[in-house]
Amino acid sequence: MTLVFDNHQTIAKASVMQEILRIGLSELPKGLTAIVISRTGSPGALVRLQTEQQIEVIAEEALRLTSEETKQLVRLQVHETGRSHTADEVARLYQTTKGWVAGLILLLEHAKQYPLGTALAGLGAMPGLCVPAMSARRRLCLNQALWPCWV
């Protein structure tokens, strides 16, 4: 079983929740995994667990696809759907998503029904703006996946 704590950066550094989380993470039973997601560096309360090697920090860069990995993922999607994309579109996909898998997957899903260029044009025109044909849920997920690109 895995517990996921997202948006850890929203908890005040002086909050008692920091200590509760630290204690909880240090007492996890075997077989239980916890993932703490923060859009800032490791909070002070968790640094102690890091130095004791009880937790591991995965750097943002390690979670991003490289340009070559993006090309390979696009090739897999092309193999599945039969719809190909130009080298320029693939390069723009990588530039737009900056390697964020969720954004890439959502754009490729969109491209199964609509020309990929429409999604890329919409995103390039204004951060946070997606193709209107996308569902609200997809638009929200894509915006969240691409958020670090706009900050």
Q: How many domains does the chain have?
A: 2
Please give the pLDDT value at position 106: 84
- Predicted TM-score of the model (pTM): 0.57
Q: Which domain holds residue 118?
A: 65-150
Residues 39 and 71 reside in one and the same domain: no
Instruction: Work out the pLDDT band at 72, boundaries 50, 70, 90.
Output: very high
Residue that wins the pLDDT comparison between 83 and 125: 83
Instruction: Work out the pLDDT band at 34, boundaries 50, 70, 90.
Output: confident
Round to whole Å and give the CA distance between 104 and 77.
Answer: 11
Residues 72 and 126 reside in one and the same domain: yes
How many C-beta atoms surround the C-beta of residue 146 within 10 A?
22
